[in-house]
């Protein structure tokens, strides 16, 4: 915190600088040719292929059969492998590398959700991916991973205590049965039970119904971390 006598700080707009650099790279890509007319043709072809590559990589589906299994070799044979990668690189950078301010804000949010715990390797790995997805703004993926964190942490708690998994009235081992047992064992309280099931339902809907049904990633992470804190305190 600064007072009135402190020197002023002028914020640096990194996103604008990155955008400018990306645009500069794109301009250089288009103009840096010994033969401008040939370069213009190569760039046009590369950009068209790059659009197709981005479409296929984004949806993991293509309209034609058998697809582009030999795409890399084909581009090398045509002599435009590097040009296509440059064109793809520009669009990927525009999409993912120009929201660093918002990413930094999300990092601050996550830091305030951190808990005191020493999770086993599997839970720690999932938590790392929750963080990565949230920082990058991958909301549906983040919520799905929160479900994975919850399931793994609850399972780990039973394993750690060498307690058999509980079963419901149909004889099935469900997450609801595990969470209810965790309340019975006083690992979780009723509020944490509600949080746990909310995380589970949101993640399940995104997995089984529509990946964009649940959209409140920050709240889902908060609920997940509250459950984890109690599990690791128990």
Dump pLDDT digits (tens) for 3-33. Answer: 556 678 777 799 999 999 999 999 999 888 8
Residue in 106, 83, 100 with CA at minimum distance from that of residue 30: 83
pLDDT in tens, 109-151: 999 999 888 888 999 999 999 999 999 999 999 999 999 999 9
3-state percent breakdown (helix, strand, coil) of the chain, nearest 5: 70, 0, 30
Q: What is the predicted pLDDT for the residue at 32? A: 86
Q: What is the predicted pLDDT for the residue at 5? A: 63
pLDDT in tens, 53-107: 998 888 888 777 667 788 899 999 989 999 999 999 999 999 888 899 999 999 9
Coil vs helix vs strand at 207: helix
Q: Containing H/E element for 21?
A: helix 14-31
- The whole-angstrom separation of Cα 103 and Cα 84 is 28
Question: How far lies 52's CA from each of 10, 25, 45, 68, 144, in Å?
Answer: 42, 21, 11, 10, 28
Residue in 134, 139, 69 with CA at minimum distance from that of residue 103: 134
Q: What is the predicted pLDDT for the residue at 3? A: 55
Is the pLDDT at 223 greater than 80, yes or no? yes
Q: What is the predicted pLDDT for the residue at 66? A: 65
Q: What is the predicted pLDDT for the residue at 70? A: 86
Residue in 12, 25, 161, 11 with CA at minimum distance from that of residue 91: 25
Compute how many other C-beta atoms are within 10 angstroms of the C-beta atom of residue 159.
11
């Amino acid at each position: 915190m600064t007072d009135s006598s402190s020197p002023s700080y002028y914020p640096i707009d990194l996103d604008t600088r990155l955008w400018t650099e990306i645009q500069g790279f794109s301009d250089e890509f288009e103009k840096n040719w010994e033969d401008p007319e040939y370069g213009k043709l190569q760039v046009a072809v590369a950009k068209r292929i790059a659009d197709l590559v981005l479409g296929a990589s984004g949806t993991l589906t293509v309209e034609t059969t058998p697809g582009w299994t030999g795409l890399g070799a084909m581009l090398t044979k045509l002599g435009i492998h590097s040009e296509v990668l440059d064109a793809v690189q520009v669009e990927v950078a525009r999409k993912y590398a120009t929201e660093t301010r918002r990413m930094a804000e999300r990092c601050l949010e996550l830091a305030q959700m951190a808990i005191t715990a020493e999770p086993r390797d599997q839970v720690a790995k999932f938590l790392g991916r929750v963080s990565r997805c949230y920082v990058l703004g991958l909301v549906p993926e983040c919520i799905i991973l929160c479900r994975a964190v919850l399931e793994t942490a609850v399972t780990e708690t039973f394993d750690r205590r060498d307690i058999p998994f509980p079963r419901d009235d149909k004889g099935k081992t469900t997450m609801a049965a595990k969470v209810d047992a965790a309340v019975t064992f006083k690992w979780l309280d009723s509020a944490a039970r509600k949080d746990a099931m909310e995380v589970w339902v949101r993640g399940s809907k995104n997995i089984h119904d529509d990946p964009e049904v649940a959209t409140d990633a920050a709240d889902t992470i908060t609920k997940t971390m509250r459950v984890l804190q109690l599990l690791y305190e128990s």
